[in-house]
Structure 1
């Protein structure tokens, strides 16, 4: 039984999600204590409990402590249910964070598995569904993991109710990847997503985006606007930057009282900061790739912002797999991450 201290590193839900993902894949049981000890309200919240139950259904697991507010979880996987699954947060909990817990095991299943997730598709403190579709999945495809994501219905805070459908093809193995130099910027595209809002909201976002793109000298900049079906109101500005050797994604969410132009300005500010940083991948891609680098065949390298999530993910991988990450760089600075994968 692997023992994990949930207060390690960022002390949040990342320890739980990474532990569930690697336990499901390796079939190694674990005990997690001090769950979300670094948060104002520690223990399992509704979204985290959905992660636990979804991974348990996928692996026929036995559990102890799988209840709201629990600060200790014992998780024992007992195989793999290679069939279609549907999981509902019941809230506006992030469906992409739930997918983080499932994706490694789905990637190494013996057949293609379809998963439907219901909840928040575009909510704070988590990557929007667009990010998985346009940044994470294309990058993983270079390593040999092929997955698709389709948003059937958009879910915003507080109502949620969004629906995504994910298909993951079985991977025979993952190839190592070198993401140390991103190369020249080839193009930048933006998506403007609005649900149940007046037309002027998306029009103002598009106008501001085109203005900033022109001022920054961005070539081949294109915008796509669409009305997203949803039970709630919401707005998202999402920018994808394609470099010669890497993809990066940046976004901002609307909220009551926040000018439409502000979403665009926040997103472009994050994009410009990244362009000046010397990192090859954005900070979210950096930490999300960590488990897959650990599972790949050969040595992988990436240059990324060393965040607490990245460090936590690397540490959890080291608890489940016989690997050691070499991380050169201080936390909150751009550093070099190297690991020789286990060729799972």
Structure 2
């Protein structure tokens, strides 16, 4: 039984999600204590319980402590199911993309479709457009294909967004993603739901203006205008070269559309300047695949999320030699 202190490092929900993923994949049981103990609302919240519930269902796990507010969880996995259709309703605007990141490795080469209801574009998590434009593209580079379908957008605080995960398949390969190189094109999606369409237009225009101050490349930002869905707005950008880097920014009350576009563009330019293989957000998500398939990548920024994730991976993948070179960009290598 692997023991994990949920308060170490970044101390958030990612410790739990990575543990769930690796437990199901390796068949190793774990107990985690002090779950989110330093957070304002400590213990398991609905978003975290949703990840536990779905992972538990996928691998018929035995659990103890999976209730709201619990600061300790025991998780004993069994064999991952080979097929089936599953639906998970977070019941809040909790991030569906963070849950997707944790379960996608479990459904590769299995006839499984998953529908998740909750927040598709919420703070402190990848936007659904980032998942489709950047995350999926990086997976393709390492030999994994899959579909993430956006059915309905969900913003904080209403949620109600819907996504579907399906057709994930492929043979993961040892890989090296070490530089973005010359950027050939930047694509984007500027969206608005149940608000004036000019907001999305202004976000896109602002982002493009910032990008053109630094790069002379084709910029193609499409607009996604929706009605009848929870109010919200945001923009996601993706730069294509030898690899793919992305960024995003969400609107909020009192925040000008121009600021939203500028934030996403500035963050993307900052990461591109490092000439790393992946952006600051993809770094911690790619660590798990690097540990599974072996390989090497460079990341634009070694965040506390990434450092914490690496330590969790070491606990479950003791047969792997994991090396981190802390520089800018940083290097993550698994032998």
Where in structure 2 are the equivalents of 1:164-203 lying within 5 Å?
164-171=163-170, 173-203=171-201
Q: Deviations over 1:42-95 (max 9, x none)?
A: 211110011111111111111100011111000111222321111110000000
Structure 2 counterpart of 1:211? 209
Q: Deviations over 1:126-168 (max 9, x none)?
A: 0011111111111111212111111000000011000001114
Give the Å deviation of 1:204. Answer: 2.0
Structure 2 counterpart of 1:42? 42
* Cα root mean square deviation, aligned: 1.6
Where in structure 2 are the equivalents of 1:116-265 lying within 5 Å?
116-171=115-170, 173-243=171-241, 245-265=242-262
Secondary structure, in 3 states, of the residue corresponding to 1:185?
Answer: coil
Structure 2 counterpart of 1:26? 26
Q: TM-score, normalised by structure 1?
A: 0.92
State yes or no: 1:58 paired with 2:58: yes
Aligned residues of 1:177 and 1:300 also touching (Cα < 8 A): yes
Give the Å deviation of 1:229. Answer: 4.8
Structure 1 counterpart of 2:101? 100
Aligned residues of 1:28 and 1:77 also touching (Cα < 8 A): yes
Give the Å deviation of 1:319. Answer: 1.0
Give the Å deviation of 1:33. Answer: 0.9
Aligned residues of 1:91 and 1:119 also touching (Cα < 8 A): yes
Structure 2 counterpart of 1:299? 295
Secondary structure, in 3 states, of the residue corresponding to 2:162?
Answer: strand
Q: Tell me, in whole angstroms, the C-alpha distance in 2 between the residues paired with 1:299 and 1:206.
A: 36
Q: Tell me, in whole angstroms, the C-alpha distance in 2 between the residues paired with 1:13 and 1:155.
A: 20
Q: Tell me, in whole angstroms, the C-alpha distance in 2 between the residues paired with 1:235 and 1:317.
A: 35
Secondary structure, in 3 states, of the residue corresponding to 1:58?
Answer: helix
Secondary structure, in 3 states, of the residue corresponding to 2:107?
Answer: helix
Structure 1 counterpart of 2:269? 272
Give the Å deviation of 1:207. Answer: 2.9
Q: Tell me, in whole angstroms, the C-alpha distance in 2 between the residues paired with 1:215 and 1:112.
A: 46
Unaligned 5+ residue runs, structure 1?
none
**1:299 to 1:254, Cα distance in 2 relative to 1, 3 A:** closer
- Corresponding residue to 1:317 among 299, 313, 333: 313
Q: Deviations over 1:268-312 (max 9, x none)?
A: 11112112223221011111001111110x533334421111111
Give the Å deviation of 1:230. Answer: 4.8
Aligned residues of 1:152 and 1:164 also touching (Cα < 8 A): yes
Aligned residues of 1:304 and 1:336 also touching (Cα < 8 A): no
Aligned residues of 2:85 and 2:112 also touching (Cα < 8 A): yes
Unaligned 5+ residue runs, structure 2?
none
Give the Å deviation of 1:41. Answer: 2.2
Aligned residues of 2:34 and 2:43 also touching (Cα < 8 A): yes
Secondary structure, in 3 states, of the residue corresponding to 1:258?
Answer: coil
